[in-house]
Homo-oligomer: A and B are copies of this chain.
Amino acid sequence: MKELETFPNPSPNRRYIVEHINSEFTSVCPITGLPDFGTITVRYIPNEICIELKSLKYYFLEYRNQGIFYEDVTNKILDDLVAACDPLEMEIISEWSTRGGMNSIITVKYSKDKNNQDIKL
């Protein structure tokens, strides 16, 4: 997988939120081989570096023909983006288009502060 590009956080002394919403995500169901379509939201509080937007778009494109489950891909995106930019906090939300009358949403969260890793319904 290509490396995600980054750039130095222009305001490293201020906690603030960056949110990128990709409404054109698509991957493939590993069982049926049929495409899945979703919206992926990336929200994070940058530490020393930020994720470069065009590079993020190309990162998402690599899933286009890859077979992967909803829960897997959401956790994997979080792992990859945390590895790429070492954020203070990060949240990934994947919302999937209707299949058989059902919609799924997966929400995963990371915090550099180990005392702050809870998530609630």
Contact = CB atoms under 8 A, between A and B. Distances in A.
A49 to B, nearest CB: 11
B45 A35 contact: no
A19 to B, nearest CB: 4
Number of this chain's copies in the assembly equals 10
A99 interface: yes
Contact of A11 (B34, B75, B90): B75
B16 A104 contact: no
B102 A21 contact: yes
B71 A18 contact: yes
Given A10-B69, A117-B15, A57 B101 contact: yes
B75 A119 contact: no
Interface of A: 9-11, 14-24, 26, 34-35, 37, 43-46, 50, 53-54, 56-57, 61, 64-65, 69-72, 74-75, 89-91, 97-110, 117-121
